[in-house]
Amino acid sequence: MNGPAGHVLVADIGGTNARFALADTSSATPLDPGSIGEYPVAQFASLADAAACYLRERGARARGAVFAVAGRVDGDEARITNHPWVISRSRTAAQLGLSQLHLINDFVAQAMSVALLQPADMVQTGGAAWQPAAPSLPRNYCVIGPGTGLGVGGLVVRDGRYYPLATEGGHASFAPTTPEQIRILQILGQQFGRVSNERLICGPGLVNLHRALSEIAGQDPGQLQPAQVSERAAAGDPVAMRAIEVFMDIFGAVAGDAVLVQGAWDGVFLTGGLVPRLLGPLRHSGFRSHFENKGRFSATLSQVPSLAIVHPSPGLLGAAAYALDLEQAPSGATA
């Protein structure tokens, strides 16, 4: 996004909400927190409509944009995994009058946020400590997080540049590790056929877990929302409490698997809408023991830091970091 200094429109588009902000790529801290606006995606027919509403309400203009979307980006097009929007990069740019628009996967943005995170934006989980390294040193990081779905990404740091990795690792198959989890897999398999990690580790996944555990206990929980499961757990309901515990166990195992697959020996960052809300249970759960329980690689995983991101808008921060990296890249280079 080489060009004169000015504001870039950044967005973090999930299956529930669309968040927008302005970023100043002439600054080392580009994201303007005072410019953040959030809108339910269900209120708009398209991403362009939502972005236009934001700009109109702010009385703002932008010379370019970086939109992070919760779905796979395929060339000019992106599809939101948990929402009907189909997004055309070129058509959206034309509708908004933008000279440049970059569509990136939402976990590309989450990964890029690592470049701008400050110590206060993270909470360590487990005993392995993380020390920020100079960008000149090679590093491999994993980023994983539950929200409306389960996102998985990576970040490779080489020679001062940040290279985010877009994956759909949340859709890898669920691998149970206990008899209870095997029974959960059987119950959910009757409903979904194939059971991916995302069927368990996300907001709707917590509901799926609670429903399966209720069936095991011979109970009918009725139709619940994720927040209601958390509320029941906080009130001492044993099945809801167990659902949170199993959620954390599986989350830890999945995060450890992601580190093994990516070779992310320098750390895993936990993000997504559920992480700040479940930070207390996360820090006092079996997350870390299941993260490290990898047989012959258990000793290796015990040295890998895991950090919960508590920054209020890591997706927007990462989209701003992506825009900044494009601005600073040598001519002809890409992120």
Please give the full DSSP string across 223-289, using - where no structure is assigned.
Answer: S--HHHHHHHHHTT-HHHHHHHHHHHHHHHHHHHHHHHHHT-TT-EEE-STHHHHTHHHHHTSSHHH
Cβ-based neighbours of 108, under 8 Å, separated by 6 or more: 68, 153, 164, 165, 166, 318, 322
DSSP H or E run through 181: helix 179-192
**β strands within 126-199, DSSP E:** 139-146, 150-158, 161-166
Assigned token pair, 44:
């708009």
Centroid of chain to Cα 335: 19
Q: In what order do the strands lie in the sheet with 161-166?
A: 122-125, 306-309, 268-270, 139-146, 150-158, 161-166
Task: Determine the Cα–Cα distance for residues 15 and 94; give it in Å rounded to an integer.
Answer: 24
Q: Please give the pLDDT value at position 333.
A: 53
- Binding annotation: 11-16
CATH: 3.10.150.10, 3.40.367.20, 2.60.120.200, 3.30.2130.30. Which one for 169-309? 3.40.367.20
DSSP H or E run through 89: helix 89-96
Q: Please give the pLDDT value at position 13.
A: 92
Task: Determine the Cα–Cα distance for residues 307 and 139; give it in Å rounded to an integer.
Answer: 15
Task: Determine the Cα–Cα distance for residues 220 and 154; give it in Å rounded to an integer.
Answer: 39
Q: What is the pTM of this model?
A: 0.88
- Binding annotation for ATP: 11-16
How are beta strands 73-74 and 77-79 bridged, if at all? antiparallel
Assigned token pair, 307:
């950090």
Tens-place pLDDT, residues 197-240: 999 999 999 999 999 999 999 999 999 999 999 999 999 999 99
DSSP SS3 for 194: coil
Tens-place pLDDT, residues 262-295: 999 999 999 988 899 889 999 999 999 999 999 9
Q: Please give the pLDDT value at position 2.
A: 43
Q: Which residues of the chain have pLDDT under 50?
A: 1-5, 332
Domain with CATH 3.30.420.40 in the chain: 1-117+311-334
Domain 1-117+311-334 has CATH 2.30.110.10: no
Assigned token pair, 325:
């990296």
Read off the DSSP letter of residue 220. -
Domain with CATH 3.40.367.20 in the chain: 169-309
